Amino acid sequence: MALLTSLFGCTLQSTKSLLNTVTTNLACVRYASKKISGSTRNKPIKLKPKHRGWKVQDGHMVRQSQILATQRKPRFHPGLYVGIGKNGTLYALEEGKVMVTCEKIIPNMKQRWARLNYAGRENSVIYKKYFNVIPEPHHDRFVLIDTV
């Protein structure tokens, strides 16, 4: 025990001599104990739905330029009196009744959109839905009065 006290006393004397000769400027710095971060949950992304697909069912009456279907890839193809927009939207060219048929297609692989959508299916049979508009027959109530 005496040995420990003498050893401790020697170390204190040596540190006193060092402290007297060297001046130190120490400052206390307090660091944050926790990191600041966002929540770890994956927050849902609020996207509006696009509502693509059929707009008019088979057998319904449509007006001219009414949208029949919207699509991103060519799921539906235009038939009689149906036009297709740049973004793949099918619309009626005439007023009439909608008729949807399933028909076999043979895509022209020289076209870019056909290569993008039907690559690897050159030798297979592909069936797609076709939208057709059957125009209403015009009434026959006119009577010929005179020829010119």
pLDDT digits (tens, 9 = 90+) for 89-136: 999 999 999 999 999 988 888 888 888 888 888 888 999 999 999 998
Q: Give the Cα separation of 38 and 90 in Å (integer).
A: 45
Q: What is the pLDDT of residue 141?
A: 77
Closest by alpha carbon to 128, among 85, 87, 90, 81?
Answer: 90
AA letter at 108: N
Over residues 1-29, the mean pLDDT reads: 58
In the chain, the percentage of residues whose pLDDT exceeds 90 is 39
Task: Say if residue 145's pLDDT is above 80.
Answer: yes
**Number of Cα atoms under 13 Å in the Cβ half of residue 44:** 3
AA letter at 140: D
Q: What is the pLDDT of residue 5?
A: 60
DSSP 19: H
The structure's pTM equals: 0.60
